[in-house]
A and B are shown apart, each in its own frame.
Chain A
């Protein structure tokens, strides 16, 4: 079946603009995660969804970052008033979840490369 997909694959924006990044998880996966990878760094956890609710937003770096998930499927990560330090690859992952998501393997999408000029 289809894996996790993300769009756009690349996004170049000007400092101060808002951007939206989209994630389509694997069908039937109830758990969804957002990570980001800055240049030369490992993946950094941002937020976790179980269904449409986000019990853990602890990784969001500032209040300019927000995310939502609708219909237990697609998720959108929004960055307002982008800054140059927001430049990174934003990765989405999903897992089967079902209340025991911490034991599930996380499957990653290809990521969105965001460049803020």
Chain B
């Protein structure tokens, strides 16, 4: 049972345009969501996160939106740059125990979306 789903294996975007990466989850206990970026032969690098008590978090060119009722989050990159070309992983956890009363450090990852930004 895949609790975090990234249904688009790949995405191509023109440089300067917006990239939108999507992620869906099924576990209602998740209260913290993250995006990691991964270049070939490197480990995932933390990009941005959002708590379930918010619906938007912005950091420079990167914005994450959370729709709890739809169990959906998205990462927007504006404007997209060729250096953004990488695999993006969505991850979730029950970090704060908001719904479970417990809290956990385990991250559950999606399968990733490969973003290609075309110059």
Contacts and interface: CB of A to CB of B under 8 A. Distances in A.
Contacts of B45: 108
Contact of A111 (B2, B43, B110): B43
Nearest to A93: B43
B44 A91 contact: yes
B30 interface: no
Given A42-B111, A102-B93, A102-B95, A107 B105 contact: no
Residues of B contacting A: mostly: loop
Interface in B47-106: 49, 89, 91, 93, 95-96, 103-106
A55 to B, nearest CB: 10
A1 interface: no
Contacts of B49: 105
A18 interface: no
Give the 10 A-B residue pairs with the shortest CB-CB distance, closest first: A108-B43, A42-B109, A102-B105, A43-B109, A42-B111, A108-B44, A45-B106, A110-B43, A109-B43, A42-B110
